[in-house]
Amino acid sequence: MADYSIGEHDFLTLSRPPISAAEGLAFVARSGTDGLTAWRTGKRGGPFSVQSVVDAADVDAAAALIDEYRELMAAGPVTMRWNGQAGKDRVKVQTVEPAGEDGVRPIVAATGGTCDPSRALCRAVWTLIPWPD
């Protein structure tokens, strides 16, 4: 199992850990009344951006990965894995904006990674939102 993944897609690295959904509070102050009232608004999380890097067999395969990433928006919430750890570093996320192509670049050759041998790198920027369990 890869150390970094979003759904079924494995990566060499992700730029940041996921943000978990947290219990929210809304505060209400009324004129003429001392103090504040706090209302629980449920578990929520705001959108955050992540950059992924993965190797591919060639430039065409790297470009095809971008299309696969865009399809995740319709798949519903998926698990994001950060640094190979479970627990708080493994949360469900929903893709709220298709992965933008940051760069598909050819490389001379590489061994190891997720694709051996690889002749391209694929960088994508994701906009994700944490999904409560």
40-63 confidence digits (pLDDT tens): 888 878 889 999 988 888 888 888
The whole-number average pLDDT for the span 75-86 is 82
pTM over cut 0.85: no
Q: Are strands 4-6 and 78-82 parallel, antiparallel or unpaired?
A: antiparallel
Element (H, E) at 11: strand 9-11
Peptide bond into 117 cis (omega under 30): yes
